[in-house]
Amino acid sequence: QSVLTQPPSVSGAPGQRVTISCTGSNSNIGGSYDAHWYQQLPGTAPKLLIYGNSNRPSGVPDRFSGSKSGTSASLAITGLQAEDEADYYCQSFDSSLSTWVFGGGTKLTVL
């Protein structure tokens, strides 16, 4: 059971918009700790997608955006493309556990 809760799967057609939620608590996202997002394409290592809730590293398309509200964070992907099919993970720090934590991951399927 992950400290950060993500839906196991989401799907969308090419060109559509999808969102992935990451629900935490007051000891992590709600406790003013930032949320970060990673993309893991099939058979590859994870890659940083969003840091500090809403910032994109250089090279990440602006189709990807992040936000945070209360104890939750969200990743939005607009203009869905086949190459976006991957697993997505959120991550934060948890003060109760005194460790960094990941969500369980969300598999995005492009229909």
Partner 1 sequence: EVQLVESGGGLVKPGGSLRLSCAASGFTFSKDWMSWVRQAPGKGLEWVGRIKSKTDGGTTDYAAPVKGRFTISRDDSKNTLYLQMNSLKTEDTAEYYCSQYYYGYLQHWGQGTLVTVSS
7 near partner 1, judged by CB under 8 A:
no
39/47 Cα distance (integer angstroms): 5
CB-CB contact of 75 with 25 (8 Å)? no
Site string for partner 1, 62-91 (x = CB under 8 A): ---------------------------x-x
Residue 17 CA, distance from chain mean position: 14
Site string for partner 1, 25-64 (x = CB under 8 A): --------xx-x-x-x---xxxxx--xx----x-------
Please write down the HEC assignment for all residues of 20-42. Answer: EEEECCCCCHHHCCCCEEEEECC
67/109 Cα distance (integer angstroms): 21
Q: Which is nearer to partner 1, 10 or 79 (CB)?
A: 10
Judged by CB under 8 A, the residue of 14, 79, 100, 109 near partner 1 is 100
Q: Which is nearer to partner 1, 26 or 55 (CB)?
A: 55
